[in-house]
Amino acid sequence: MNTENSIRLRLRFYKDIDENIEVVRQKFVDYSKVISPDFLMKIRNNHIQFTIKGEKQRYWSPYLSVELEEKEGNEKNATHIRGLFGPAQTMWTFFIFLHFIIAGIFLTFLMFAFSDYALNQSIVNDVIIMISMVICWILLYVIARQTRANGYGQMEELERECQKIIG
């Protein structure tokens, strides 16, 4: 998985294997009984979620969501696996909340600037606040990239565990 040249914040991988979806799911179920105490695996139907737990868990620790799907055209004898890395749900929710706050402030002061312009009043303060919101948004993006970079090692650990299961 090439993580350095990607602009996406949430990394993903795909893999096709020539085994029935039930066989692949059973591999995950069997492995969840002997998994290392550093990992937590939750299995619900054809959705598997890996997480780091214990002393290794940090606020930037990634989650790996794995979806098992029947591969089309192989009469249910092959499985398409989609893996998606992401941050902890609380971290993701917090970042989205901050994006909405910044967007709301930007749009509010955009309306103020339009009103002030229509009334032939100074729009300098409004524009300064809008520019600062753009800078805050860029700063959030940089923080998200740094947070992802902090979790590279753990992402690779999660991917290795997944590859170990599916072979």
Residue 162 has pLDDT above 90, yes or no: no
* pTM, 2 dp: 0.70
Report the sign of the C-alpha dihedral through residues 12, 14, 20, 23, in that order: negative
Residues 68-107: pLDDT tens digits? 988 776 566 788 899 888 888 888 899 999 999 999 999 9
Written in H, E and C, the secondary structure of the chain is CCCCCCCCCCCEEEEEECCCHHHHHHHHHHHHCCCCCCEEEEEECCEEEEEECHHHCCCCCCEEEEEEEECCCCCCCCEEEEEEEECCHHHHHHHHHHHHHHHHHHHHHHHHHHHHHHCCCCCHHHHHHHHHHHHHHHHHHHHHHHHHHHCHHHHHHHHHHHHHHHC
- Higher per-residue pLDDT: 149 or 99: 99
- In terms of pLDDT, which residue wins out, 16 or 137? 137
pLDDT digit string (tens) for 35-67? Answer: 888 888 999 989 999 888 888 888 888 889 999
